[in-house]
């Protein structure tokens, strides 16, 4: 009888130990699952409108590498995005279509020191509707009687408009072009106007032209008629996710990302 009681007590002890161990294991699993959930990060990327097409591919590609990172792009004119960042709009990463807007943020101390990099290169082209009968072979044709209305980005806030103004000014025809220009809020609006035949022609990036089957490219802006079209990227100093933002920029410089950029017509800096 005594022996039976000892066996019973031993069995109870074993049961209690297993319960404790199992309970701890379950708790560890639950803790790991909770940690995985709480580690999810939404990374806010403010990017030039000309990156609209490439943004989706980059997001999907990065999601495969970093499942816990949710990339959210805000696309628009670089000038508008820079102003929003200056005014305190939340943003972790800024990709501009020109050095000007990035330099402004840098001078105001709004970029994380050492995070800025030159990422991409683009070209500026003159385009017209695909079914247009107007023959344009050079940028100078924009000032001719062939063109009654031309679409441009707003030079003060849209880099594509800035480059267009520089090119037409270098060619000595800015005043003539300006008199028949309609100005868009970003380069994609300019592209849409040309696609719809609302204007005779417009100035966009090479990458925008590649993305559309409704337009034709007349010519590139003459060499040295405008500043190089360089896309810089940087981490915003007030970002709450500086480490993740830096890793995303590192990803943008990988061979994988380069293949995506090249697919849409960008050149790697």
Taken in order of first residue, the domains within the chain and their CATH numbers are 40-121+229-268 (3.40.190.10), 124-220 (3.40.190.10)
Question: What pLDDT, on a 0 to 100 scale, did the predictor assign at position 1?
Answer: 46
Question: What is the reported pLDDT for 33?
Answer: 40
Confidence of residue 34 (pLDDT cuts 50, 70, 90): very low
144 is in an annotated binding site: no
Distances (CA, A) of 127 to 50, 138, 214: 15, 11, 10
pLDDT score of 37 more than 90? no
Residue 41 has pLDDT above 60, yes or no: yes
Q: How confident is the model at residue 13 (pLDDT cuts 50, 70, 90)?
A: low
Mean pLDDT for 73-101 is 97
User: 155 exposed, middle or buried (CB, 10 Å; 0-12, 13-18, 19+)?
Assistant: buried
**What pTM was estimated for this model as a whole?**
0.83
For 161-176, what is the mean pLDDT? Answer: 98
Angstrom distances, CA of residue 24 to CA of 19, 21, 27, 38, 80: 8, 5, 5, 21, 53
Contact (Cβ atoms closer than 8 angstroms) between residue 68 and residue 39: yes
- Whole-angstrom Cα distance, residue 17 to residue 162? 74
Ligand-binding site membership of 121 (annotated): no
The answer to the question of whether 187 is labelled as a binding residue is yes
**Chain mean pLDDT for the chain:** 90
Among the residues of 70-137, which ranges form H helices? 78-86, 99-107
Residue 78: predicted pLDDT = 97
Kindly give, in sequence order, each residue whose CB lies less than 8 Å from that of residue 117, ignoring residues fewer than 6 positions away: 232, 233, 234, 249, 253
Q: What percent of the chain has pLDDT over 90?
A: 85
Q: What is the pLDDT of residue 60?
A: 97
Query: For residue 4, what pLDDT is reported?
Result: 46
CA distance 183 to 112: 33
Q: Identify the pLDDT of residue 38.
A: 52
Task: Please indicate if the annotation marks 50 as binding a ligand.
Answer: yes
**Calpha distance 269→265 (Å, rounded):** 13
Q: How would residue 24 be classed by pLDDT, with cut points 50, 70 and 90?
A: very low
Residues 48-74: pLDDT tens digits?
A: 999 999 999 999 999 999 999 999 999
Residue 30 confidence (pLDDT) above 90: no
What is the Cα–Cα distance from 58 to 261, expressed in whole angstroms?
9
211 is annotated as contributing to ligand binding: no
Question: Per-residue confidence at 15, pLDDT binned at 50, 70, 90?
Answer: very low
In the predicted model, is pLDDT for residue 209 greater than 80?
yes
| DSSP code string of 160-209 | HHHHHHHHHHHTT-HHHHHTTEEEESSHHHHHHHHHTTSSSEEEEEHHHH
Q: Which pair of structure tokens corresponds to residue 28? A: 């560890």
Q: What is the mean pLDDT of residues 119-135?
A: 97
Residue 226 pLDDT grade (very low, low, confident, very high; cuts 50, 70, 90): very high
């Amino acid at each position: 009888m005594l022996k039976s009681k000892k066996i019973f007590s031993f069995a109870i002890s074993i049961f209690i130990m297993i319960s404790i161990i199992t309970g701890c294991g379950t708790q560890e699993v639950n803790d790991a699952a909770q940690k995985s959930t709480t580690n999810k990060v939404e990374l806010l990327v403010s990017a030039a409108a000309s990156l609209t097409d490439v943004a989706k591919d980059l997001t999907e590609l990065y999601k495969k590498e970093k499942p816990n990172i949710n990339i959210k792009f805000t696309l628009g004119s670089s000038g508008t995005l820079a102003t929003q960042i200056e005014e305190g709009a939340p943003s972790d990463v800024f990709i501009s279509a020109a050095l000007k807007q990035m330099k402004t943020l840098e001078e105001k101390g709004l970029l994380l020191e050492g995070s800025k990099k030159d990422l991409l290169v683009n070209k500026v082209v003159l385009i017209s509707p695909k079914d247009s009968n107007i023959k344009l072979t050079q940028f100078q044709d924009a000032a001719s009687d062939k063109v009654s209305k031309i679409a441009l980005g707003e030079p003060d806030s849209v880099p594509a408009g800035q480059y267009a103004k520089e090119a037409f000014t270098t060619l000595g025809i800015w005043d003539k072009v300006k008199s028949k220009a309609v100005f868009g809020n970003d380069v994609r609006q300019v592209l849409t106007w040309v696609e719809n035949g609302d204007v005779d022609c417009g100035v966009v990036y090479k990458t925008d032209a590649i993305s559309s089957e409704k337009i034709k490219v007349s010519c590139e802006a003459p060499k040295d008629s405008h500043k190089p079209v360089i896309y810089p990227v940087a981490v915003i100093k007030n970002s709450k996710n500086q480490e993740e933002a830096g890793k995303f920029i590192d990803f943008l410089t990988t061979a994988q990302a380069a293949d995506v950029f090249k697919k849409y017509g960008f050149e790697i800096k």
